[in-house]
Amino acid sequence: MAQRIPDLRAKMGERGLDALLVTHPSNRFYLSGYTLDDIPPDESAGAILITADGSYLIAGATNLELARAQAVGFEAVERHKQDGLAATVAELLGRHGARRLGFEENATLVATYHALEEATKGTVELVAVGELVSELRLIKSEDELARIARAVAVTDAAFGAVWPRLRPEQTEREAAWLLDQALREAGADANAFPTIVAAGPNGAYPHHEPGDRPLGEGLPITIDMGARVDGYAADLTRTAILGEPTDRAREVYRAVLAAVEAAEAGIRAGMTGGAADALARGAIAAAGYEDYFVHGLGHGVGVRVHEPPSARAGNEDPLPAGATLTIEPGIYIPDWGGCRIEDLVVIEEGGVRVLSQAEKQRV
C-alpha cells in the first residue's frame, strides 16, 4: 500500500493537478486502509485530499478517532461541522497554495461540487479526473490477489457446505440464510453483497432477492454469493437443479456452461472486453438463446464487487494481465426462469487462471 500515494502523485503531475479530492469509497479504502462504510448517497464516512506534500483523511467528528487509528500516513482532519467537506477542503487547499483541484465526477454529488465551487471561488480550478484513481486498482498486486483468492476460497467452501443440504421444500430465503451462515463460518468478514437465491420463475430476474418461494424440483435455482475478506470481495454463481431437470432446464444449463467454458478457454490478456463477451455470447447463440442473455459477460472484482475491466459488447478496451474478471453468462426467460454460472478468473498473458473451485453440477 505504501507505493499507492506516490503512484497517484505521479498521475496528478501528468495532469498538472496540485491537489486531488478522492470521494469514491473504494478508492478511499484502497489508498488509506480506512474501512468505514458510507450511507449512500449523501453520507460519507470520509474523503481523501492529496497534495504534493500532504495526505489528509477528512472525516466527521464521530469517525475522526477511527480515521486516525486506521489511515497510516494520513493526517486525520475533522470535517467542518457547519460548512461541511467543501469548507475543509478549501482551507487545506489554501494552506498548500493549490490552484488546480482534481475531483472524481463519477463519485461526487452535484451539491458537493457546487459547494466546492463556492468555497474556492476564483482561486481554484476544479478538474474532472474521470477514473484516474480507480484505474490504479485495475491491475492487482500479489497481496491483493492473495486476498481475493482467500475470499474466493471462503465462498467456494460455503457453497460446498450448503449445496448438499438444499431441499426442494426450503424457501429461497432459508437457503440464502444457510449460505450466509456458511460464509461467516468459513471465514468471511461479511457478505460482499446480498446473497441471491432465485428459484423457478424468479430465475428470470438476474438480481432477484430471496423470498418465500420453495426451491422446488426440475427447474434451475440460481445462487449468487460472495465473501468479503480483508477488504476484498469474491463473486460466485452456481445454478443447482434439484431432482430431475426438465428438458428445457437441461438445455439452458448446458448452453450456459458451454458459454463459460468457451470464454475460459479463449480469453487472454490483450483481448478486448467486447471480444471476450462475444466468446460466451456465441456459445449461447449456438443454442438459440441469444435474446435471453441480457447482461455483459463479466466485470472485475477487488475492493468493490463490480469494478473495471468490463467484458461486454462494444467495449474496445483490452483486458490487461493482472486484472480480475468474472465469467458469468446467463439465460433469463420471463415467466419460466433462468440460469447463470460464474467463475472469478485472473487475466494472464496466455489465458485465464480460474480462481473459483466450487463444483459445477453436471446435468
Which positions touch a copy of itself (CB under 8 A)?
A: 23-25, 35-43, 45, 60-66, 69, 81-82, 103, 105-111, 113-114, 128, 177, 180-181, 184, 190, 193-194, 204-209, 294-295, 304-306, 314, 332, 334
Please report how close the Cβ of residue 327 comes to a copy of itself at its closest, in angstroms. Answer: 16
Residue 94, C-alpha cell as written in the block: 489554501
Please report how close the Cβ of residue 319 comes to a copy of itself at its closest, in angstroms. Answer: 20
Structural contact between residues 69 and 59, judged by C-beta atoms closer than 8 angstroms: no
Please report how close the Cβ of residue 58 comes to a copy of itself at its closest, in angstroms. Answer: 15
In which residue are the cell numbers 424457501 written?
171
Cα 46 from Cα 23, distance rounded (Å): 8
Nearest to 236 by CA among 325, 356, 339, 323: 356
Q: Which is nearer to a copy of itself, 150 or 184 (CB)?
A: 184
Q: Which is nearer to a copy of itself, 66 or 285 (CB)?
A: 66
Q: Which is nearer to a copy of itself, 24 or 238 (CB)?
A: 24
Q: Which is nearer to a copy of itself, 69 or 72 (CB)?
A: 69
What does the H/E/C string look like for 179-208?
A: HHHHHHHCCCCEECCCCEEEEHHHHHCCCC
Query: In Å, what is the CA distance from 127 to each residue of 107, 124, 188?
Result: 13, 9, 39
Q: Which is nearer to a copy of itself, 49 or 242 (CB)?
A: 49
Please report how close the Cβ of residue 44 comes to a copy of itself at its closest, in angstroms. Answer: 9
Q: Which is nearer to a copy of itself, 147 or 304 (CB)?
A: 304
φ, ψ at 172 (rounded to 5°)? -55, -45
Please report how close the Cβ of residue 4 comes to a copy of itself at its closest, in angstroms. Answer: 20
Encode 285-301: b = buried (16+ Cβ within 10 Å), e = exposed: eeeebeebbeebbbbbb
Please report how close the Cβ of residue 34 comes to a copy of itself at its closest, in angstroms. Answer: 11
| CB half-sphere exposure, 30, CA atoms < 13 A | 25
